[in-house]
Amino acid sequence: MPTKAALSHIPGPPATPIIGHTLTIARDSYGTQQDYIQRYGPVYKTKMLGVWRVNLCGADALEMVLLDRDRIFSSEGGWDALKRIYPGGLLLQDFDHHRRNRRIMTAAFRANAIRDYRVRMTEAMETLLEDWPVGTPSCFYTAIKDLTLRMGGAVFMGLPLDGDLAQRVNRAIQDEIRASVAVIRRPVPFTPMWRGVRGRRFLRETFRKLIPERRANGGDDFFSQMCLARDENGESWSEDEILDQFNLLIMAAHDTTATTLSVMIAALGQHPQWQDRLIAEVNGLADGPLDDGALAQMTQTNNVFREALRLVPPVPFIPRLATRDFHWKGFDVPAGTSIALNPGVTMLSPELFSQPTVFDPDRFGPDRAEDQRHKFAWTPFGGGAHKCIGMHFSTLQVKLFVATLLRNRRIRLQGSAPHWHRMPIPKPKGGLPVILDRV
């Protein structure tokens, strides 16, 4: 890994001994990066958690690194901190190895499987939302994290909504998530990493027992489809590969959806005219379960979803590791350098989006199409070979939630507009207190 001296030709702010810029970035990651871009330009270095990183900023950098036509940038090396909890997942694989596993994973996201997930998801969502309190304040972020975990148990794992096993699985997933962002990276007893390692072991042991039965009998849940998945050449996964891929997938699906729905609900509470627009859209759909045609009609909901992802993306920074020397914007960057991309800050750029801090879903309408000003202007799902494979599934999940909620609930925020912890995973400060009124 290059030293500070090896990166001396790259500009950057003075670093505090030992901690570098860690606390400054943690306190205000977006504001700090916007300040550094203004002072040093789109290429600068920082020291975060003991590692010197070169920040490559803007849509052009996102395009260059994520498309990676010369196979320079390693996702596995960038996400090295996740290896103890999520080894073997798609995010931590590169090049031919990644392409092989992504082809198999794609089989679990085929159109008829998505339709099965939609039916299972609709039933679970209606059941879970019916238990949410009406007319009294509640913490939306806590509630939506619980809902996405329990619904994930049904849709992803084929487990009942309630029951001892589902609760133990959910606790293990939560322990893994906390471990993935823990400061102490070794499993010292009673630390988050220690609990995360134990949670990972429990999940692997639990789901390994299910693989033979799922392979023999199938099922319309995601885990069953992964057990059966084959690429166009008939290649499938071993048991260990299934467990590694599934473990990362359920984490990614849970936390990103909880963040995005929290942003959307906050926005609908702050902007009642948009809540009215989505209510009208939902009321215009046919009664009964939503099919593909009905979901396609939810264009206003889709624009709100896209705007929420632009303002508070679940993954605001993307790490990579340079496997070879490269040149960018006048700078030579040596092999072994940690790279940081900034889709969160890029999506707030006034060069790409008008009044970028304002909630304005109409910017995605066909008459404005601000997201088309650059092919990497809007990148909450990443891009290139590692673009989020669950993007369409996430859109489906969000639309089903909005339609189910707004058919018989109305949203009132309690208190002022929420502020957001941006790192490591965005969440609303104070938990986003709301009141849901029954229609």
- pLDDT tens by residue, 386-402: 999 888 888 999 999 99
- Read off the pLDDT of residues 164-204 as tens digits, 9 standing for 90 and up: 777 888 889 889 988 887 878 889 999 999 999 999 999 99
SS3 at position 425 = coil
Per-residue confidence at 249, pLDDT binned at 50, 70, 90?
confident
Per-residue confidence at 366, pLDDT binned at 50, 70, 90?
very high
User: What pLDDT does residue 307 have?
Assistant: 98
User: What pLDDT does residue 254 have?
Assistant: 75
Per-residue confidence at 220, pLDDT binned at 50, 70, 90?
confident
User: What pLDDT does residue 237 have?
Assistant: 93
What residues have CB less than 8 Å from 223, skipping those under 6 apart? 156, 157, 158, 207, 210, 214, 246
First to last CA, the chain: 59
CA-closest candidate to residue 299, choices 278, 323, 268, 314? 278
Q: Other CB atoms closer than 10 Å to residue 436's CB: what's the count?
A: 21
Task: Give the mean model confidence (pLDDT) for residues 8-18.
Answer: 92
Of 6 and 370, more confident? 370
- Read off the pLDDT of residues 278-328 as tens digits, 9 standing for 90 and up: 999 999 998 878 888 899 999 999 999 999 999 999 889 999 999 999 999
Is it the case that residue 130 has pLDDT exceeding 90? no
Is it the case that residue 423 has pLDDT exceeding 70? yes
Cβ-contact 258, 145 below 8 angstroms: yes
- Read off the pLDDT of residues 68-123 as tens digits, 9 standing for 90 and up: 999 999 999 999 888 889 998 999 999 999 999 999 998 888 777 778 788 888 88
Cβ-contact 127, 400 below 8 angstroms: no
User: What pLDDT does residue 390 have?
Assistant: 84
Per-residue confidence at 131, pLDDT binned at 50, 70, 90?
confident
Task: Give the mean model confidence (pLDDT) for residues 335-346.
Answer: 96
Average pLDDT, the chain: 90
Sign of the dihedral defined by the CA atoms of residues 294, 392, 381, 49, in that order = positive
Chain centroid offset of residue 254 CA: 8
Lowest mean pLDDT among 154-163, 217-226, 368-377: 154-163
Is it the case that residue 410 has pLDDT exceeding 90? yes
Task: Give the mean model confidence (pLDDT) for residues 27-35.
Answer: 92
Per-residue confidence at 379, pLDDT binned at 50, 70, 90?
very high
Query: How far, in Å, CA of 100 to CA of 95, rounded?
Result: 9
- What letter would DSSP give residue 109? T
Is it the case that residue 23 has pLDDT exceeding 90? no
Per-residue confidence at 422, pLDDT binned at 50, 70, 90?
confident
Domain boundaries, the chain: 58-438
What residues have CB less than 8 Å from 437, skipping those under 6 apart? 134, 135, 409, 410, 412
Is it the case that residue 271 has pLDDT exceeding 90? yes
Per-residue confidence at 255, pLDDT binned at 50, 70, 90?
confident
User: What pLDDT does residue 161 have?
Assistant: 64
User: What pLDDT does residue 362 have?
Assistant: 98
Cβ-contact 187, 252 below 8 angstroms: no
CATH code of the region 58-438 = 1.10.630.10
Lowest mean pLDDT among 142-156, 239-253, 288-302, 370-384: 142-156
